[in-house]
Amino acid sequence: MKDFTYLMPTKLFFGRDCVKNNSGVFREFGKKAIIITGRTSAKKNGSQNDVVSALSENGIGYCVFDKTEENPSLETVIEAAEMAVAEKADFVIGIGGGSPMDSAKAVAFLAANPDEKAEFLFEKGQAKHLPVVEIPTTAGTGSEVTQYSILTVAAKKTKVGLSKRTFADVAFLDARYFESLPAGITRNTAVDALTHLIEAYLCTESSFISDAIVEKGLGEFALCKDALIEGSFDYETREKLLLISTLAGMAIAQSQTSLPHSMGYYLTFFKHLQHGPANAQFTKAYMDFVTERDKVDNILSVLGFKDTSELDGFLRKLVERVNCTEDEINYYTDEMMKISAKLATVSRPVSRDDMYNLFKVSVM
Ligand code: NAP
Ligand code: FE
């Protein structure tokens, strides 16, 4: 058996009204919070109100940064961190999808190191940071249980993961916040979670524990397939999708994501394709390429698909796709070949021709 380490230090509270029922938890982190959200959803789905009530009940002050955009930019995170410093926030609460949750982690580093330039987020080596609380309102990224934070960096023309990493101290998982999630976002984000499960399982850094987590997640995902196709979700299915996303996050926290995620970043940056669909576009080619054939068969069998084409057909029914030109594929291929850490997540050498073909069969 392969050696491995396991770390997932986030304390989870799961269940209906878990913020309200555990409001005292916020007292651990200080006297003032900065809440990081997207523009509107946290106000509409009740999550922001629950947090504000919990803070007020415990005499904790707060300020709100609600300008986080999808695939958050470095500039937006800098603006939020300036607010955190000006307001003397002791801790950061991210409420929303992966975008506000990832931003909250970046803000936690920037606000604790106000003399550093933002570029320090991408430099190796750890640094102090404010405590982080995460409250997901999409079921997809698992950011509440991962150490990753991914920002759009215009100068690099793609999305880049921070080198500074931290898990949230606490995460609250309440499926009530998802009841308002439109079918389209539910599908996009569920597909992101599925790609986390698949990539964590096939990644060279997978371990006994991450595999066990993935296998449970895939089994639960199989039970949600019909609801995803139909686009109608009862509360029980919402809870399942939330827990699948959290399991998938726990799995990538151990073994990271693989080629589809990095390849997908170009489709998001240049073609504005949502994150989950961008990964899904490469899933079939990636599963056909890797050498772990037993594991590929196991994924298909647990999900209930006869082959990768059937899985791809399912994904095509759920999410949008885009096409790319020859020139675009050549550019993306050259860029991907520079990311040696991602190439190393695949258990066989990846030549430029291989990478080109992975793009070509997926986006042409
Ligand atoms: P998102 O970008 O956070 O949000 C997408 C949209 O969903 C926004 O318009 C948002 O509106 C809306 N929304 C959120 N919750 C809602 C609700 N309950 N009801 C109605 N609308 C709601 O989407 P995401 O897919 O969750 O996150 C994607 C980001 O996560 C990407 O940047 C990706 O790279 C990152 N990611 C991170 C990890 C990790 O491990 N850290 C893993 C995978 C992906 P508002 O703007 O109004 O809130
Ligand atoms: Fe993802």
Long-range own/partner contacts, residues 350-357 (CB < 8 A, 24 or more apart): 350/259, 354/289, 356/329, 356/330, 357/285
Q: Report the alpha-carbon distance of residue 95 to residue 44 in Å, rounded.
A: 12
Nearest Cα to Cα of residue 234 among 318, 178, 168, 315:
178
Q: Report the alpha-carbon distance of residue 186 to residue 181 in Å, rounded.
A: 6
Nearest-CA residue for ligand 1 atom 43 is 141
User: Is the CB of residue 73 below 6 angstroms from any atom belonging to ligand 1?
Assistant: no
Whole-number pLDDT of residue 180: 85
Report the residue among 10, 67, 138 best suited for mutation to probe ligand 1: largest number of ligand atoms under 8 A from its CB: 138
Whole-number pLDDT of residue 336: 98
The values of phi and psi at residue 186, to 5°, are -60, -45
With vertex at residue 253, the alpha carbon angle to CA 252 and CA 255, rounded to the nearest 5 degrees, is 55
User: Is the CB of residue 241 below 6 angstroms from any atom belonging to ligand 1?
Assistant: no
Helix 259-271 / helix 275-289 crossing angle, nearest 10 deg? 140
32: left (phi over 0), alpha (psi -120 to 50) or beta: beta
Q: How far is the centre of ligand 1, averaged over its atoms, from the C-alpha of 67 (Å)?
A: 13
User: Is the CB of residue 167 below 6 angstroms from any atom belonging to ligand 1?
Assistant: no
Question: Quick one: CA torsion of 101, 103, 104, 110, rounded to 10 degrees?
Answer: 160
Whole-number pLDDT of residue 155: 92
Q: How far is the centre of ligand 2, averaged over its atoms, from the C-alpha of 102 (Å)?
A: 11
3-class DSSP state of 182: coil
Question: Residue 182 carries which side chain, given as an amino acid letter?
Answer: P
3-class DSSP state of 134: strand
pLDDT tens digits for range 114-162: 999 999 999 999 999 999 999 999 999 999 999 999 999 999 989 999 9
Sheet bearing 170-173, strands edge to edge? 11-14, 170-173, 132-136, 91-96, 32-37, 61-65
Residues of the chain where predicted confidence (pLDDT) is lower than 50: none
pTM higher than 0.85 = yes
Pairing type for strands 170-173 and 158-161 reads unpaired
Whole-number pLDDT of residue 328: 98
Q: Which ligand is nearest to the CA of 177?
A: 1
User: Is the CB of residue 179 below 6 angstroms from any atom belonging to ligand 1?
Assistant: no
pLDDT tens digits for range 295-339: 999 999 999 999 999 999 999 999 999 999 999 999 999 999 999
User: Is the CB of residue 136 below 6 angstroms from any atom belonging to ligand 1?
Assistant: no
Bridge partners (DSSP) listed for residue 37? 95
Q: How far is the centre of ligand 1, averaged over its atoms, from the C-alpha of 19 (Å)?
A: 20
User: Is the CB of residue 265 below 6 angstroms from any atom belonging to ligand 1?
Assistant: no
Q: How far is the centre of ligand 1, averaged over its atoms, from the C-alpha of 141 (Å)?
A: 8
Cα of 77 vs its chain's centroid, Å? 17
User: Is the CB of residue 96 below 6 angstroms from any atom belonging to ligand 1?
Assistant: yes
Residue 217: its H or E element: helix 208-230
Q: How far is the centre of ligand 2, averaged over its atoms, from the C-alpha of 54 (Å)?
A: 30
Nearest-CA residue for ligand 1 atom 11 is 41
**Are the C-beta atoms of 284 and 308 separated by less than 8 Å?**
yes
User: Is the CB of residue 45 below 6 angstroms from any atom belonging to ligand 1?
Assistant: yes
